Structure 1
């Protein structure tokens, strides 16, 4: 695929990934394209069939996401948040790869689930939806401003099984053991560049180091909050190994009794996690993690790891 002349200069900070991202020229070309607009159908308020019929009746064009029955690609909508279906809580604008982590949590009715970095609530409300408003979801976020957005979203979407806390996730109190924990960690956000090219201006070694320190503390807390046999899903929307495999590697080397599970999601292409970066050998099981690059499925970027606490 031919890359426009301005792409190499605009995306210079991403050149560090040229040796780890397959078909790197295609990757750069997709990074220069607008991100498709996608949304999740909220089955807490209506069936998929009812929502699709409403959209069709009003002339809104869409394509179902082939890999996820509740996902839609909106084709002729500039701002999904302006749709009547949004205000009624029938849909929630959500980037396609953002829908992946909750689907890997093996959620069961009546479980106790923690979303450690939950605001503004796309994944937390998806968790509640997948549990059909049963069990209990603790949606935690340290930012009081972002928590207001979280509350707005769960009220609009009809979530009934959620409570909100505002702890620093690194020091979330160990008052109980959770069946499942999601750590959708703050990150350098390289995977959302297709929505915000301003992200490129902030990238650099200092940011990667700061994020790595925060992320490893969050993941360390998460694996200590989950019950034996429970799952921790760790995800970021960045490509930086410092924020992805190096974080998981750090925790695996310091906490016994953790198992890396393979990421299996039929219908979406991904690359395996890295087992080496910058001359450093990493835990071999990190190959079971998944890297979702924009040019593989025409999405944003995502890294995800699934850990089971076996003891």
Structure 2
């Protein structure tokens, strides 16, 4: 049975699509497409296909994305808990895939929750530089933080702020800014018919106003020569070509760039904006032309001649000699070593922090960098988050279970495990618990009993 669309929405879509309208409407009868994006910091496509048994088909417009069959149920596989992939709608992978982020850059994801694009940007940075991932909603920012930590992103500053507050502290700071803007969600009608019930004809104008504020603050935070990628999951011209036309008029230092093409991408329509021909450089994704939902993208660059803002950076830290000795005792068994100049201790908690501006007072944040663990009575206890950045070969004590081992489910529920002699690489002490060499937490081994250290906030129910 065909979905019932709002009358005013149908009227506008008929005007926009003309002869293609029937093909668009027929696309609602097509099955939903399921996608996952692998974590290249942890696994390759070949390793994932071999270890999981999933039937994977490459998504042609992104190097790390794959279609999977619904019956594969990847959210139930232990690899999901190990952060080896992120489940994401195929079209939604496009913005991060077409944004040329390089290791060492300063990157902002301004509307980042729940983390699909942020985890992709963080993986592209490879632990170098900094990713500021922000969401205005505190509950959504908490979900964002978990997804980044599961993925093993160690250089993220996760904030919960309005864009203007960030712009006041990060003006001219970032090499790249991604704005996956809040929108009327018309491109998701097929995937999630519940979105239709929230739509009315005033929503595009409402969101366009929000988008202009977000865009202007995003431009403020770009350095000269920096790039900004704007995306939405709506078809509404006022939110797409309209918002881009507005920011180009408001900020003449911004230039619209072409986006690396794919044969089924459609170009932007100048008539849906202010008429400038450059709007053809925008990309529209239509569900009747591609195996995905509706999306819009625009890539812009700030002029090299734009005024430069110099921001004083936070100075490197100097660890207390006693604490550093305790930390080094633990890390002598670990191939991964922290940059000691970036290690901060607050109370008992130890963090590896990225390079940020010195004055961030008043910014509400959930996490600054990698929470490494706790210092307690002259010993160091590693964190769940540290485990997610490692693999079995990185630590002297580990146990690797097969995906079919029933103890994995018990471990993820927080239960104590029994190990056979020789099953772990050492007989006592901290053990990195893995599935097929991919870590998902710690345990403490004594006399064949593995005390569960999987973080309580992530434990499975039942």
TM-score by length of 1: 0.91
Deviation at 1:130, TM superposition (A): 1.5
In the alignment, does 2:109 pair up with 1:115? yes
Deviation at 1:14, TM superposition (A): 3.3
Give the equivalent residue in structure 1 for 2:440. none
SS in 1 for 2:226: strand
Task: Show structure 1 runs of 4+ deviating over 3 A.
Answer: 9-12
Deviation at 1:284, TM superposition (A): 2.4
Structure 2 distance, partners of 1:80, 1:227, is: 40
Give the equivalent residue in structure 1 for 2:47. 50
SS in 2 for 1:174: helix
Structure 2 distance, partners of 1:72, 1:11, is: 33
In the alignment, does 2:216 pair up with 1:223? no
Task: Please tell me whether the aligned partners of residues 110 and 136 of structure 1 are also in contact (alpha carbons under 8 angstroms).
Answer: yes
Between 226-235 and 154-163, report the one with greater CA deviation: 154-163
Give the equivalent residue in structure 2 for 1:196. 192
Between 246-255 and 200-209, report the one with greater CA deviation: 200-209
Structure 2 distance, partners of 1:93, 1:261, is: 29
SS in 1 for 2:127: coil
Q: Which runs of structure 2 are paired with 1:125-274 in the superposition (5 Å)? A: 125-176=119-170, 177-266=173-262, 268-274=263-269
Deviation at 1:27, TM superposition (A): 1.1
Task: Please tell me whether the aligned partners of residues 143 and 166 of structure 1 are also in contact (alpha carbons under 8 angstroms).
Answer: yes
Structure exhibiting the larger radius of gyration computed from Cα positions: 2
Higher relative contact order (CA 8 A, sep 6+): 1
Task: Please tell me whether the aligned partners of residues 32 and 191 of structure 2 are also in contact (alpha carbons under 8 angstroms).
Answer: yes
Task: Please tell me whether the aligned partners of residues 38 and 93 of structure 1 are also in contact (alpha carbons under 8 angstroms).
Answer: yes
Give the equivalent residue in structure 1 for 2:69. 75
Aligned residue among 296, 301, 313 for 1:308: 301
SS in 2 for 1:216: helix
In structure 2, the CA distance between the partners of 1:127 and 1:257, relative to structure 1 (3 Å rule), is same
Give the equivalent residue in structure 2 for 1:37. 34
Task: Please tell me whether the aligned partners of residues 246 and 282 of structure 1 are also in contact (alpha carbons under 8 angstroms).
Answer: no
Structure 2 distance, partners of 1:214, 1:170, is: 12
Between 232-241 and 88-97, report the one with greater CA deviation: 88-97
Deviation at 1:32, TM superposition (A): 3.5
Deviation at 1:171, TM superposition (A): 3.8
Task: Please tell me whether the aligned partners of residues 90 and 291 of structure 2 are also in contact (alpha carbons under 8 angstroms).
Answer: no
Aligned residue among 100, 106, 120 for 1:106: 100
Structure 2 distance, partners of 1:191, 1:83, is: 29
CA root-mean-square deviation: 1.8
SS in 2 for 1:23: helix
Deviation at 1:216, TM superposition (A): 0.7
Deviation at 1:133, TM superposition (A): 2.0
Q: Where in structure 1 are there 5+ consecutive unaligned residues?
A: none
Structure 2 distance, partners of 1:215, 1:67, is: 26
Aligned residue among 24, 33, 44 for 2:21: 24
Between 117-126 and 79-88, report the one with greater CA deviation: 79-88
SS in 1 for 2:35: strand
Structure 2 distance, partners of 1:19, 1:264, is: 28
Deviation at 1:108, TM superposition (A): 1.5
Task: Please tell me whether the aligned partners of residues 44 and 159 of structure 1 are also in contact (alpha carbons under 8 angstroms).
Answer: no
Structure 1 distance, partners of 2:177, 2:233, is: 18
Give the equivalent residue in structure 2 for 1:92. 86
Task: Please tell me whether the aligned partners of residues 33 and 194 of structure 1 are also in contact (alpha carbons under 8 angstroms).
Answer: no
Matched residue count: 300
Q: Where in structure 2 are there 5+ consecutive unaligned residues?
A: 307-462
Aligned residue among 289, 297, 304 for 2:290: 297
Deviation at 1:104, TM superposition (A): 2.4
Task: Please tell me whether the aligned partners of residues 52 and 77 of structure 2 are also in contact (alpha carbons under 8 angstroms).
Answer: no
TM-score by length of 2: 0.62
Deviation at 1:78, TM superposition (A): 6.4
In structure 2, the CA distance between the partners of 1:76 and 1:205, relative to structure 1 (3 Å rule), is closer
Task: Please tell me whether the aligned partners of residues 41 and 90 of structure 1 are also in contact (alpha carbons under 8 angstroms).
Answer: yes
